[in-house]
Structure 1
Amino acid sequence: MIFVLAPLCRHSMACVHQIACLTHDLANVFLQNFFNIINGETVSSAVTQHGINPANKEPNPPVPVASPAELDKAVAAAQVAFEQWSPFPLEDRRKALFAYSDALNAEKDGFTSLLTKEQGKPLSQAAMEVEMAVAWIKGLASLEIPEVVLENSSERKIVQRFTPIGVAAAIVPWNFPVLLAIGKVVSALITGNSIIVKPSPFTPYTALKLTELAIPFVPPGVFQALSGDDQLGPWMTRHPGILKVSFTGSTLTGKRIALAGAETFKQCTLELGGNDPAIICKDVDLDALVPKGDQNLGQVEDKLLMLDPTRVAPLCFLNSSQVCMMIKRLYVHESIYEAFRDKLAAHVKTLPVGNGVQPDVFLGPVQTEMQYNKARDLLSSISAEGLRPALGGTVEESAGYFIHPTIVDNPPDTARVVTEEAFAPILPLLKWQTEEEVIARANADPAGLGGSVWSRDLDQAQRLASRLECGSVWINSHFAVAPHVPFGGRKESGSGVEWGVDGLKAYCNP
């Protein structure tokens, strides 16, 4: 077995190039058969399960269901690998991860197609996620945690160092299975830890292949993946050999992980649900925030425009609104409310809904049957509560889990479409009058993940932004993330941060 690390191979980059080319030649085979990765080997399981393509409800290929014995084997391998990996110089770990990034970049078309098939998002958005993952590997691996000199006097020198914890577990959700897995893995590996990835049972495919792709670049046991059923997560969070858990998912599950992890004093990073508010002030340029309703979405430049973090419409409906840090409550100043509502509805009405493999689609299906049924139930509350949709409000029957975008016209703050995180393209549009009032309403939600303020008056924008109870707050953008910038939540949106130097420190002993 070949793994690429400078101390073990003087010609590491040549090896990497050869491996990457070989992988590219075998891409079709590589992306068809799925295994758990334990101690650098592909491992089948006695029991299998499969995900569903949410665009047509057809079964995807079978994947293993890990057993407790297989988890024990993976943890034991990770413990041995940690002792080998953690002493390696930072620069050698960085070179290995850079080489892995290049290998993923060479396979990005295959991963893009696989991501659309398992998750449902359009190919353009899947390609964006894979390209972000490539950039995140190099971005996170480029960071360093400097030693902190606490005292340097004639009497003594006190230095704070950040040392790796040991074996980490990454529990990854189904909405961004590539990017969120990579963020956890690279943060763990660059700091000298070993890691076991548990993908969502709904989207296990890309995570298993990301791990298999890494086999040539790190020692066996450093980076492993286990596909499993609903029992695997609890087994991992209670396993005494796992010392760190990084979880992205629902607030309810996050609370369970925190309780289970406390039994063995695990360090936990929890990035949980959000119900992000965005505050639109009266002085905004409506044409800058919302594209024209009749834009030709078949043009590549227009589709890229919809991914612009300074445009409101894509920040409400990207990935069919299945983004934790996405605009979920849109507060618009009363003086421009009607004009903004009509312009937004006209534009969103033109967003094509359909199978993500179709070139012009912007909204694919929601990912799971459970999410689809939840969205349908939430849509039924619109008529039950006497609310008025500015767009949509009904479900069109189809072969997949498709929910057409809905905009609800100024519902009360107590409406379910306001208080519940839809995780589907259902957006409440709400009027506001005064700063005090809108801040109180925005902060009333128990979640506190992200938020944004939109205004030409930067003094007003900063004044409002400083009072939002959110882990990340943007001015004139939203969901503008980067590998060197930490993000995390306040209140019931979690604890700790991912990414950035602070995110790396979360995988270290302080």
Structure 2
Amino acid sequence: MTSVTPPATALTFDLATKRYGQLINGRLVDGASQVSVIDPGTAQQVATTPAASVEQLDDAVEAAKRALPGWSALSVDARGAILHRIADVLVEHHEKLAHLTTLEQGKPIAQARDDVSWSIDFTRYFADYRLPNEVLRDDENGYVELRHRPVGVVGAITPWNFPLFQALYKLAPALIVGNTMVLKPSPTTPLATMHFAELVRDVIPPGVFNVVGDAGDLGAHLTGHPGINKVSFTGSTATGRRVMEACGPTLKRLTLELGGNDAAIVLDDADVEKTAEGLCTWAYANAGQVCVSIKRIYAPSSMYDPLVEALARRVSELTVGHGLDEDTRLGPVQNAAQYEKARASLELAHEHGTVVAGGHMLDRPGYYVEPTLLRDVDEDSPLVREETFAPIRSVLRYDDLEDAIDRANDTPYGLGASVWGTDTDRAVAVADRLDAGTSWINHHFQLTPDVPFGGVKQSGLGAEFGRIGVEGFVDVHVVNLKRS
């Protein structure tokens, strides 16, 4: 069940002596303080990174403001060429960035490599993206055209579960339409982002992209800063509320991608083994620490027992270990606070349901939690009602499909959902009734740069990716000509 292979090394420098800097106005700048970066696979410090003072945040915002006129004046083709050069840098340093992601975040190295690959794909997509003007009227009375202007300085805040990928999928669409950016990574996962910033500081003009470190107290200063025109935030719903409040006094533009409690409804014609494979993959990826992962599984009574058995078998076979071990399929949870939350969740699991796989914390250095599956769970349990950000998942029984849909929708969240069955027309009809920003059929958690992604209810505001996502980084400007 557990893997104990020591971490491999793929870095060309010693993290213990590597000196990271914040990227402010094209220069690497020391912080006002230092933050320890902990490898969740060992619970040991692997590096230190700088944390900004409020004054340094002011410097970064001012640099972005100064760079804005020149950057937005460049042709979109010129900006796109720079984004392609950024993607080239990601390609060149692919393995190093993946290695850093695993060291700071804990996910298996194969998943970290995917993060970098996705970053490359999204960057190239937006490098070639063109947001067209739209002629709304052209007749004998006049001419009306819808145009777009960059919103200005974007404040981007990324969480710890996909630190590099989420930095790039905010940066690329913001830059292609002429904005500049100040980005703040999570205090617990700044390594890959800061290393990326160092790699591209000679690629991106000074001030266009700035990265500031955080000791846990900088977020409110960034979101409330009068020099920030838009905030793009990914994180918890609770923090999202505070971000929205901070943006209120200056009426900042705002995109929020928040928490989720995604339901998967299995129909009675689903293939048990194939469905169990898909559910396991998208319920336990990244140790269950994905806002849009499957967290509640609704299965019909007619196939409840065989589906639970098939899931339990797969969950029990997940190899748990350090992310740098190539055989690891499930790494640790990311930090000590999440580890303690997982411990509390496991206690509830034994009280509120029947544990059919896992159910324990692993007694070894690092923040390891056994992948756990529950059946016959009390639906009023916090394990069902709240977002569980750990490898702990529940299978719930239903006898009536209408009841399953109602129960799946009975949550303040609405990020994603999925339906599993062989009759795709029926599955689509069910998916259409789920309160979610995205409903997948026979898969889950597919993100592509051309398809908008966002939540409803308390899972977010606005969307990222696709035309809708790009439009979140521009202001509308209408040119209205009257013909005499």
- Please confirm whether the aligned pair reaches a TM-score higher than 0.5, indicating the same fold: yes
- Tell me the alpha carbon deviations over residues 330-349 of structure 1, each in whole angstroms, 9 at most, x when there is no partner: 11121111111101111111
The answer as to 2:350 corresponding to 1:383 is yes
Higher relative contact order (CA 8 A, sep 6+): 2
- Tell me the alpha carbon deviations over residues 220-246 of structure 1, each in whole angstroms, 9 at most, x when there is no partner: 000110001222110011110001000
Cα contact 1:320–1:364 (8 A) shared by 2:
yes
Code of the residue aligned with 1:200 in structure 2: it is S
For residue 415 of structure 1, report the CA deviation from its aligned partner: 1.4
Cα contact 1:289–1:312 (8 A) shared by 2:
yes
The answer as to 2:216 corresponding to 1:230 is yes
- Which residues of 2 match residues 76-155 of structure 1 at below 5 A? 76-155=62-141
- Which residues of 2 match residues 106-505 of structure 1 at below 5 A? 106-291=92-277, 311-385=278-352, 387-505=353-471
The answer as to 2:22 corresponding to 1:36 is yes
**Quick one: distance in 2 between partners of 1:171 and 1:153?**
45
TM-score for the superposition, normalised by structure 2: 0.94
Code of the residue aligned with 1:71 in structure 2: it is L
Cα contact 1:168–1:246 (8 A) shared by 2:
yes
**Quick one: distance in 1 between partners of 2:14 and 2:136?**
54
**Quick one: distance in 2 between partners of 1:30 and 1:154?**
71
**Quick one: distance in 2 between partners of 1:286 and 1:431?**
15
**Quick one: distance in 2 between partners of 1:243 and 1:123?**
36
TM-score for the superposition, normalised by structure 1: 0.89
**Quick one: distance in 1 between partners of 2:256 and 2:350?**
35
Runs of 5+ consecutive residues of structure 1 not aligned to the other structure: 1-23, 292-310
Cα contact 1:40–1:220 (8 A) shared by 2:
yes
- Tell me the alpha carbon deviations over residues 490-510 of structure 1, each in whole angstroms, 9 at most, x when there is no partner: 000010001111111101002
What does residue 3 of structure 2 align with? none
When the two structures are aligned, how many residues end up with a matched partner? 467
For residue 144 of structure 1, report the CA deviation from its aligned partner: 1.8
* Residues 237 and 46 of structure 1, relative CA distance in 2, 3 Å threshold: closer
For residue 282 of structure 1, report the CA deviation from its aligned partner: 1.2
For residue 383 of structure 1, report the CA deviation from its aligned partner: 2.7
**Quick one: distance in 1 between partners of 2:407 and 2:15?**
53
**1:72 aligned residue (58, 66, 70):** 58
For residue 390 of structure 1, report the CA deviation from its aligned partner: 1.4
1:195 is paired with a residue of what secondary structure?
strand
**Quick one: distance in 1 between partners of 2:368 and 2:16?**
30
Could you tell me the percent identity over the aligned residues? 39
For residue 312 of structure 1, report the CA deviation from its aligned partner: 1.8
For residue 396 of structure 1, report the CA deviation from its aligned partner: 2.4
Cα contact 2:265–2:419 (8 A) shared by 1:
yes
* Residues 434 and 358 of structure 1, relative CA distance in 2, 3 Å threshold: same
What does residue 5 of structure 2 align with? none
Cα contact 1:78–1:167 (8 A) shared by 2:
yes
**Quick one: distance in 1 between partners of 2:276 and 2:237?**
31
4+ runs deviating over 4 angstroms: 24-31
- Tell me the alpha carbon deviations over residues 325-380 of structure 1, each in whole angstroms, 9 at most, x when there is no partner: 11010111211111111011111111100111111101100001111101110111
**Quick one: distance in 1 between partners of 2:13 and 2:116?**
16
- Tell me the alpha carbon deviations over residues 21-50 of structure 1, each in whole angstroms, 9 at most, x when there is no partner: xxx997779993311000000001231111
Code of the residue aligned with 2:63 in structure 1: it is A
**Quick one: distance in 2 between partners of 1:250 and 1:108?**
28
Code of the residue aligned with 1:37 in structure 2: it is L
- Tell me the alpha carbon deviations over residues 377-429 of structure 1, each in whole angstroms, 9 at most, x when there is no partner: 011112333x2111122222220100111111021221121112111000010
**Quick one: distance in 2 between partners of 1:438 and 1:458?**
18
Cα contact 2:28–2:198 (8 A) shared by 1:
yes
What does residue 481 of structure 2 align with? none
1:103 is paired with a residue of what secondary structure?
helix
Code of the residue aligned with 1:463 in structure 2: it is A
**Quick one: distance in 2 between partners of 1:29 and 1:88?**
37
**Quick one: distance in 2 between partners of 1:410 and 1:185?**
44
Cα contact 1:31–1:114 (8 A) shared by 2:
no
**Quick one: distance in 1 between partners of 2:258 and 2:43?**
27
